[in-house]
């Protein structure tokens, strides 16, 4: 089983979009996926409830009160971490993770918060020994490329690179409401958006 932790300290950065997309993509390839929601808002579980019949099956579990254990039969565990995590929680979740995916919005305030978060998790052993991959994802990249360049500079300074850049699109809002993801749809219109995810998906497979 591979465990992917989707985390950030600042809310509204697209944690749930990323967690649900990673879950749907893996499930679409026939993997047995468990989506664990630790965020009090429980938006990943809300998305699962809205999920229609006929799309790849994903199991969900509520870990808000207590972080549990995934059954052995699970191929991929995806954890939607809470915003504003307590250090104790961070430690447990980071230690459990093989891969940490960190969505960041193009904003210096979000970068500053992400920087604090990165230095906190880097103090934890498994990452220092480079056993755990940290993949930073630029989310909602829209207004000019200058913001993207700034994000690169910032992450470069932290010893990281951007694993993928996801465009801002209203499609994500509709998908969230429908309980689906780009990977559940097969229309031409969204091909470009799907392409945005490729580098992240590749990076996950390499790290896994």
Partner 1 sequence: MLKPPLEIELKLGVPAEAIERIGEDDTLHREADGPGDRQTLDATYFDTADRSLSRRGIALRVRREGSRTIQTIKADARNLGGLTARAEWQWPIRRRSPDLGVIDIAEAQAALDDIEESALAPYYATKVQRRLLTVVHRSSRIEVAIDQGAVIAGRRRQPITEVELELVEGREVDLYDLALALADRYPLTLEPRSKAARGAALADGLTPAAAFRKPASLERGMAVDDLIAWIMSDCLAHFTENVAAARDGRDVEGVHQARVALRRLRSAFAQLKDFLRGPAVDQIKSQARTLASALGPARDLDVFATETLPPLRHFTLRPALDALERRAEAARGEAYDTVRQVLGGPEAARFALLLGYWIADRTWRLDVRPARLAAPVEETAAGVLSKRFTKLKRVGRNFEAMSTEQRHAVRIELKKLRYAVDFFGGLFPGKARGRFAKRLKALQDDLGFLQDAAVTGHLLDRLDDGGADPAFAEGRGLVEGWLAHRLATANEGVVADWRALAKATPFWHD
Name which of 98 and 110 has its Cβ closer to partner 1: 110
User: Under rule CB under 8 A, which residues in 13-42 are in contact with partner 1?
Assistant: 16, 40-42
Residue 116 in contact with partner 1, rule: CB under 8 A: no
Of 54-62, 90-98, 141-149, 188-196, the segment contacting partner 1 by CB under 8 A is: 141-149
Residue 107 in contact with partner 1, rule: CB under 8 A: yes
Of 28-36, 70-78, 116-124, 172-180, the segment contacting partner 1 by CB under 8 A is: 172-180
Other C-beta atoms closer than 10 Å to the C-beta of 188 total: 6
| Beta-sheet strands, E only, within 31-152 | 33-37, 59-62, 76-80, 99-104, 133-141
Nearest CA to 64 out of 77, 49, 80, 78 is that of 80
Q: CB of 206: closest distance to partner 1 in angstroms? A: 29
User: Contact with partner 1 (CB under 8 A): which of 146, 186, 188, 189?
Assistant: 146
Residue 156 in contact with partner 1, rule: CB under 8 A: no
Residue 176 in contact with partner 1, rule: CB under 8 A: yes
Q: Is the C-alpha dihedral spanning 135, 136, 140, 143 positive or negative? A: negative
Of 22-30, 86-94, 99-107, 122-130, the segment contacting partner 1 by CB under 8 A is: 99-107
Residue 68 in contact with partner 1, rule: CB under 8 A: no
Name which of 75 and 152 has its Cβ closer to partner 1: 152
Nearest CA to 162 out of 132, 178, 139 is that of 139
Strand-pairing partners, residue 37, are: 62, 80
Q: In what order do the strands lie in the sheet with 76-80?
A: 59-62, 33-37, 76-80, 2-6, 99-104, 133-141, 162-167
- CA distances, 182 to each of 18, 51, 130, 199 (Å): 11, 13, 31, 15
Other C-beta atoms closer than 10 Å to the C-beta of 3 total: 21
Of 18-26, 73-81, 103-111, 156-164, the segment contacting partner 1 by CB under 8 A is: 103-111
Q: CB of 57: closest distance to partner 1 in angstroms? A: 19
Binding site for partner 1 (CB under 8 A): 12, 16, 40-43, 46, 49-50, 105-112, 140-144, 146-147, 150, 168, 176-178
């Amino acid at each position: 089983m591979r465990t992917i932790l989707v985390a950030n300290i600042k809310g509204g950065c697209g944690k749930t979009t990323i967690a649900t997309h990673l879950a749907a993509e893996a499930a679409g390839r026939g993997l047995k996926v468990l989506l664990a929601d630790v965020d009090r808002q429980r938006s990943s579980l809300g998305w699962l409830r809205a999920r229609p019949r006929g799309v790849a099956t994903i199991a969900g579990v509520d870990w808000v009160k207590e972080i549990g254990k995934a059954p052995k039969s699970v191929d991929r565990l995806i954890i939607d971490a809470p915003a504003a995590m307590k250090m104790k929680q961070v430690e447990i979740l980071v230690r459990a993770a093989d891969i940490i995916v960190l969505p960041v919005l193009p904003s210096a305030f979000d970068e500053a918060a992400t920087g604090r978060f990165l230095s906190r998790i880097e103090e934890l052993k498994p990452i220092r020994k480079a056993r755990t991959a940290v993949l930073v994802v630029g989310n909602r990249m829209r207004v000019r490329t200058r913001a993207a360049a700034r994000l690169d500079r910032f992450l470069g300074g932290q010893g990281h690179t951007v694993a993928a850049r996801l465009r801002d699109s209203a499609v994500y809002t509709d998908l969230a409401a429908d309980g689906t993801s780009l990977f559940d749809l097969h229309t031409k219109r969204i091909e470009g958006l799907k392409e945005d995810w490729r580098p992240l998906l590749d990076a996950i497979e390499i790290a896994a």
